[in-house]
Amino acid sequence: MPTRTSLSLLVALLTGFTALSAQTFTAVLVMKAIEAGKLNLDAADISIRHLLSHRSGIANFTDNPAYLAWHTQNRTRSEMLQHISTLESIFEPGSRSAYSNSNYVLLTLILEELYQQDYRDLLEQHITGPVGLANTFFDPEASADSLGSRSYLFNTTWEESPTTHLSIPLGAGGIISTPTDLLRFAEALFGGKLVQKESLDAMCALRDQLDLDLYPDSYASAQIPLKISIHREGQRLMAQATGQPSFPLEATALHIFKFEQAGIVMEFDPENQRLLLKQAGAEFLFERE
């Protein structure tokens, strides 16, 4: 049996709404509700579209310093709603984008209220059951030892970080799966077996949600004696390594860019002022200067 992998670590589907796979499952459930006439994509000041595309302006609850004091503890739905409701808005809805786990926790709560069913049952009824994903599930009571993969933070060396209780991320990052099941999910999604073409097109549309002003700066790495300069040229992001010509970066998902000719992938982490460069199987962590 394949090793179970936390979807909060495994980026498998790159859609316009999100780069995190757990959130892609949630987005599918939302789009199916819209197709059924149970939700409207745009009928509110902070709309479902805003939540899906991280353009709501609702602050990310995981950015709150107090989060680290309780993220390993079980939380009820009411407690999560309370945590999010105390946060201030960081911009006008639709004016720009900023990643926020709060968006997909709220979408989870909306789905549960709409169907009067637990997220776990909705996932099984609408996705994992029909597609046959035997090793994909949402179980907030799953122990850390059963999750397989762990999260790590780089602080001069890689250190294991405490495991977040899955009652907290819900549909923002609480799904457990395997690489094999993720492939089946992707095939079903892009094969038209889960949502209609119009819904899939909406999910895949990057539109103008990428805020290119988040990335330009100089980045340095302790692993290699090389600096990378990121700058904008119109609506295009450019990169230039020390002593080398600049090259264009193509957006493939939120905060993820590639330069296909050289096999380079750059994953930006604006919140932590970091850049992860991947090439030829190697990974190099850069810090914003």
pLDDT per residue as tens digits for the range 248-286: 988 766 788 888 778 888 999 988 999 999 988 889 999
What confidence tens digit (pLDDT) does each residue in 181-201 have? 988 999 999 999 999 999 998
Tokens of 193: 């077996």
What confidence tens digit (pLDDT) does each residue in 85-98 have? 999 898 889 877 77
Q: Which of 32-46, 94-108, 193-207 has the lowest mean pLDDT?
A: 193-207
Q: Kindly report the pTM of this predicted structure.
A: 0.69
Instruction: State residue 269's pLDDT score.
Output: 92
Distance of CA 75 to the CA centre of its chain: 21
Tokens of 5: 């992998």
Q: Do 239 and 249 contact (CB within 8 A), yes or no? A: yes
Percent of the chain exceeding pLDDT 90 equals: 48
d(CA 18, CA 99): 9
The answer to whether the 5-153+163-204 and 212-288 domains have the same CATH topology is no
Q: Are strands 274-279 and 264-269 parallel, antiparallel or unpaired?
A: antiparallel
Alpha-helix runs per DSSP H in 140-275: 179-190, 197-204
Instruction: State residue 90's pLDDT score.
Output: 87
Q: Do 257 and 249 contact (CB within 8 A), yes or no? A: yes
Provide mean pLDDT across the span 73-77.
94
Topology annotation, domain 5-153+163-204: Beta-lactamase (3.40.710)
What confidence tens digit (pLDDT) does each residue in 135-188 have? 999 988 875 556 566 767 666 778 887 888 889 999 998 888 888 898 899 999
d(CA 106, CA 75): 14
d(CA 288, CA 180): 36
- Strand order in 5-6's β-sheet? 5-6, 175-177, 137-138
Q: What contacts 268, CB < 8 A, 6 or more positions away?
A: 214, 215, 255, 256, 257, 274, 275
What confidence tens digit (pLDDT) does each residue in 223-254 have? 998 899 999 987 788 999 988 899 998 876 67
Q: What contacts 151, CB < 8 A, 6 or more positions away?
A: 6, 8, 9, 160, 161, 163, 164
For the packed helices 77-85 and 101-115, what is the interaxial angle rounded to 10 degrees?
130
Give Rg (Cα) of the chain. Answer: 19
Count of positions (residues) in the chain: 289
Instruction: State residue 201's pLDDT score.
Output: 86
In 3-state terms, what secondary structure has residue 151? coil
Instruction: State residue 4's pLDDT score.
Output: 40
Strand partners, 267: 256, 276
Domain boundaries, the chain: 5-153+163-204, 212-288
Architecture of domain 212-288: Beta Barrel (2.40)
Provide mean pLDDT across the span 199-204.
86
Residues 197, 198, 204, 208: what is their CA dihedral angle, to the nearest 10 degrees? 160
For the packed helices 101-115 and 21-35, what is the interaxial angle rounded to 10 degrees?
40
Q: What contacts 129, CB < 8 A, 6 or more positions away?
A: none
Provide mean pLDDT across the span 111-138.
96
Asked if pLDDT for residue 210 goes beyond 70, the answer is: no
